[in-house]
Amino acid sequence: MKRVEEGKEEIKEKYKDKKEEKAEVESDITEAIQENEDINEEEKQNDKDLKQNESHIKLQIVKSSLLRKEVLYKIVTFTALAIVVITCFSVAGIFYASSVKMEEEKRKELEEEEQEEVAVDEEIKNNKIPVYTEEAKERMKHIYEWVGEEEKIAYLTFDDGPSENITPQILEILKNEDVKATFFVLGSRVELRPELVKRAYEEGHYIANHGYSHVYTSIYSSAQAVLDEYNNTERKIKEAIGNEEYSSHLFRFPGGSEGGKYAKVKNAAKALLEENNISHINWNSLTNDAVGKPTHESLLQDLKITQNGKNKIVVLMHDTGTKQLTADTLPEIIHYLKEQGYVFKNFYDIMY
């Protein structure tokens, strides 16, 4: 009986143990189910979060795409504008550069032309060859009232030389005073003193023509005789200065070109000279150094009287062998004219 009871108790204990095991198993199952549900819930939440993230990412992608498009549009627009601006500036730059280049080329052409003209002028002056142009012809005709020159100008002229004693003195004075003059030489005197003509020429003085003989009955026998004496004297000048290209184109009639016993011949000679490109010139101021018995005072006084009130003066003097008084008075004559505001020129300043 006791063993039966012990067996029952043992069975009860086993049953109890089984029950507890079952309870534990059920509890484990419940926990596993709960855990599985939690996992499912978490997965659902993760899926939801993932979907939200995907939506956010898609939205960000769309926004980013729109932003890129906007930026790209701005870049394209800016680039297009930049290209337009650069193109405009480039075109403007090309036109400006082209314009500047054209202006520079024009300026260079003008400078080259001016330089050529200056070079030609300098060559002519260096060679001391008068150039007889239409302008020079007109200026010679209107030398006393030439409109283009407002300054006071004095042309010192010396007739009837050269002479061995007076001409060298006059040349020395002119050199010291830095004055260029004009010498109306006689062909017959050039033959005797060619070295003085050459010196005057080389020192920058203008060698003009006063005929060959200074004998009125000879030179004024006809208009052709005037031209013949002129041509003969020109040949003597060329020989004296050693320049066959030289031609003075300038004649002074012995005794002047106006009136007197030979007026008719002189008038015909004027026309003949002009046909041969030869101007003639008289004077509008003088010292009267070839009249009577002048004195130092009378030479200065006559100059002042005949110069007064004139802006352009052609002063008549002589450098023959008897005109020592002219050489002695010349420095005072030059100083006086300088004080009156005159500048000194010769006919190179017209025929250049």
Q: Which residues are catalytic?
A: 159, 318
Tokens of 94: 């090309």
| 3-class SS string, the chain | CHHHHHHHHHHHHHHHHHHHHHHHHHHHHHHHHHHHHHHHHHHHHHHHHHHHHHHHHHHHHHHHHHHHHHHHHHHHHHHHHHHHHHHHHHHHHHHHHHHHHHHHHHHHHHHHHHHHHHHHHHHHHHHCCCCCCHHHHHHHHCHHHCCCCCCCEEEEEEECCCCCCCHHHHHHHHHHHCCCCEEEECHHHHHHCHHHHHHHHHCCCEEEECCCCCCHHHHCCCHHHHHHHHHHHHHHHHHHHCCCCCCCCEECCCCCCCCCCCHHHHHHHHHHHHHCCCEECCCCEECCCCCCCCCHHHHHHHHHHHHCCCCEEEEEEECCCCCHHHHHHHHHHHHHHHHCCCEECCHHHCCC
The CB density around residue 164, as the number of other CB atoms within 10 Å, is 13
Beta bridge partners of 312: 153
Closest CA to 320 of 227, 203, 207, 186: 186
Residues 167, 159 contacting (CB under 8 angstroms): no
Q: 194-202 vs 167-177: helix axis angle to the nearest 10? A: 10
